[in-house]
Amino acid sequence: MKLGKSVATVLARIISRSPHLSELSLDRTELGDSGAAILARGLVRTRSLVHLRLSSSKLSYLGAMAIFAAVGRNRSITCLDLSSCGDANRNRAGPASMSTLKEAFGKSNTIGFINLSGNGIGDLGLADLVEGVVNGTGSVLSLNLSFNSFTHAAVPDIARLVSKSKSLIELDISGNLFGKEVSSL
């Protein structure tokens, strides 16, 4: 399903004005980067939205950055799902958006659950993400980083995440390319 700019504009308006909307799912849509930028304006203003699901919404690092920046300014969103399912409409937040997510963790103390499965974060992006979780103001409880093309070079960052986070109780790193080095954790 393709969501155009006009639909994203209406959704942003609804989100910002609804005092009771607690969950929004736009999974498997073609929201895209421009739609994410528009939706982000509504996310900044909402005080009721708790769970935001944008799985497989065709976001690149630009759309992910818009969402991450908005979530960083929001005080109600606790669950964020930007995962990718299958090959259609994949989200590709990639390493470039992780610095924005790191900043969001520094501003928001509400993000507790985040799913970034299949986003191509890679070893480079992981360092910023870990920095945000470890030094952020919030309490990230659950982090899904499965299928993000991490290699053995990411093992020290994973070890730092696990040992330094004061709140993390669930971590999914399955489907990555660690090799034998993971046994060193």
Closest of 78, 62, 157, 69 to residue 110, by C-alpha: 78
Residue 172 exposed, middle or buried by CB count within 10 Å (0-12, 13-18, 19+): middle
Which letter, b or e, does each residue of 8-45 get, where b requires 16 or more Cβ atoms within 10 Å of its Cβ? beebbeebbeeeeeeebebebbbbbbebbbbbbbbbbe
pLDDT tens per residue across span 137-166: 888 999 999 999 999 999 999 999 999 999
Residue 182 has pLDDT above 60, yes or no: no
As a CATH number, domain 5-184 is 3.80.10.10
Q: Which DSSP letter does residue 47 get?
A: S
**Domain chopping of the chain, boundaries:** 5-184
> What is the distance between the alpha carbons of residues 78 and 149, in angstroms, rounded to a whole number?
26
CB atoms within 10 A of CB 170: 10
- The full length of the chain comes to 185
pLDDT tens per residue across span 75-115: 999 999 999 987 767 899 999 999 999 999 988 888 999 99
The set of residues, in sequence order, having a beta carbon less than 8 Å from that of 87 and lying 6+ positions away, is none
Give me the DSSP letters along 51-86.
EEE-TTS---HHHHHHHHHHHHH-SS--EEE----S
pLDDT tens per residue across span 64-77: 999 999 999 999 99
What is residue 152's predicted lDDT score, i.e. its pLDDT?
Answer: 94
pLDDT tens per residue across span 41-71: 999 999 999 999 999 999 999 999 999 999 9
Give the whole-number percent of the chain exceeding pLDDT 90. Answer: 78
